Amino acid sequence: MAALRYAGLDDTDSEDELPPGWEERTTKDGWVYYANHTEEKTQWEHPKTGKRKRVAGDLPYGWEQETDENGQVFFVDHINKRTTYLDPRLAFTVDDNPTKPTTRQRYDGSTTAMEILQGRDFTGKVVLVTGANSGIGFETAKSFALHGAHVILACRNLSRASEAVSRILEEWHKAKVEAMTLDLAVLRSVQHFAEAFKAKNVSLHVLVCNAGTFALPWGLTKDGLETTFQVNHLGHFYLVQLLQDVLCRSSPARVIVVSSESHRFTDINDSSGKLDLSRLSPPRSDYWAMLAYNRSKLCNILFSNELHRRLSPRGVTSNAVHPGNMMYSAIHRNSWVYKLLFTLARPFTKSMKPCMIGHTCDPNTRN
């Protein structure tokens, strides 16, 4: 049991407690076997229960499996800088023929992105997250990077994106993460980003359209469109169109569009029920910041649904997500009114870490 405590694991059930002289070990491919030091023998069956077991899932983030000069497997915890011959997954073994678990809700509002991705190995997967230098985007990018994915932080401010990359590397120096410039308020920048990404000749398994703005005063982008509409929706729409061929070649792949429940409090139709495009990029006289934000989030959902309809037959799924009511972040930084509102509401809001985006991002699961 001392070895279990050293590895940071709690004791297991008493039924699985080994008799004196026995030791639990694992093979390279995850099967559990038992060594009897007194009789100098090994066996696959548990000496008390007679069950065969294997370890469940992948190594926790920060852990790595290596082999010593004698060919024996050992485990390195890079986060806490320690080494052990005990597999940290031994506390989570499963029977060789487990019974089918009952259906239950696995996640709730306090579940963190790291907990959602626990046990998943994204090695070899390429993940692109827009607006990943802070907030939800950063937590999402970090979680994927610490689970083996090659993560690209696509941000308007390259300096801040590079700082975010450094923060991730401080947690795990082997994380594969990089920053690229993407300004959704400039369609030419979106085009240049897509060209630079394609020049890397890599796959794209997960695209998280996370970047957004809120409570901006009225203004037009260089492309002549209202800023909130272009940054929150049109820029991402254009980005997905430019990378659509890469996503399809990388299938199974997934697009995640971060929307909001506020999409319910608006519409984009005129009084006769017909689509009114002038509401998407309104003139100054018809502009209200909150309404512009709501409309952009409605566009996000309509876009995600249609994208899924068109690309799911080709192995690319799309989901729109609501990250949580009144989640405290820096998105309100453009308005002192909303700064005050969010500050007062902060004790009752979710933090950045409990984020549900991770569950919808695995391209190998269907939602």
Q: Which stretch of DSSP H or E encloses residue 2?
A: helix 2-6
Determine the 3-state secondary structure of 336 from DSSP. helix
Starting at the earlier edge strand, list the strands of the sheet with 32-36.
22-26, 32-36, 41-43
- HEC string for 253-301: EEEEEECCHHHHHCCCECCCCCECHHHCCCCHHHCCHHHHHHHHHHHHH
Give counts: helices (H), strands (E), the chain: 10, 14
Catalytic residue (one of 107, 293, 328, 338):
293
Opening angle at CA 131, ends 153 and 62, nearest 5: 45
Active-site residue flag, 293: yes
CB 184 within 8 A of CB 236: yes
Distance separating alpha carbons of residues 267 and 88, to the nearest angstrom: 52
Catalytic residues: 293
